[in-house]
Every structure is written in C-alpha cells, then in structure tokens.
Amino acid sequence: MTRIEFIEFLKEFKTDFDQNKENWENINLSDFLESMIAYTEDIQGFYDNMGMKINADNPTWENFSHILKGASIYE
C-alpha cells in the first residue's frame, strides 16, 4: 500500500464512520485510542492466525490501515 492508497483508505474509513457509526464499537476518541493500543499489541497474533506472512514489527501503510480497522471494532 502506498501513501496515496493510505490516504484513500482514510477517506473511506472516515466516510464509513460518518455513515455507519452504529456498527463501530468505539465511537469516541478515548475508547478508539485504547482499542488501537490493544489491537496493536495483538495484531501479530491476528496475522499468524490468518496465515498472513506479515511481520507487525515492520511498519507499513498497510499495517497501519489494519490497526485502524481493527480498532474500530475491537473491544
């Protein structure tokens, strides 16, 4: 994922929040950031369980998009 693709992802991510807030687990910034921390701690397990050959310790735009999406629903 390129920086430009990440920008497009962010635009779509915001639109999804604006239009589907009721489907998001974390709708205020504090809860979202708390979830983002927890999801970031656990994301390598997600990658491993899904058979994705991604090393979460090598940050990429794609990793960050996964973290944001995960934080929107992670409890």
pLDDT band at 37 (very low <50, low <70, confident <90, very high): very high
Percent of the chain with pLDDT over 70: 100
Give CA–CA dist 55/59, Å, rounded.
8
User: What pLDDT score does 74 carry?
Assistant: 84
Domain of residue 29 covers 3-73
As given in the structure block, the two tokens for residue 47 are 């990658």
Across 1-75, the runs of DSSP E, i.e. the strands, are none
Task: Please answer whether residues 64 and 40 qualify as being in contact, where contact means their C-beta atoms are separated by less than 8 angstroms.
Answer: no
User: What pLDDT score does 41 carry?
Assistant: 94
As given in the structure block, the two tokens for residue 45 are 């397990």
CB neighbours of residue 72 within 10 Å: 20
Give CA–CA dist 7/10, Å, rounded.
5
DSSP state of 66: H
Kindly report the pTM of this predicted structure: 0.83
Instruction: Give the count of domains, the chain.
Output: 1
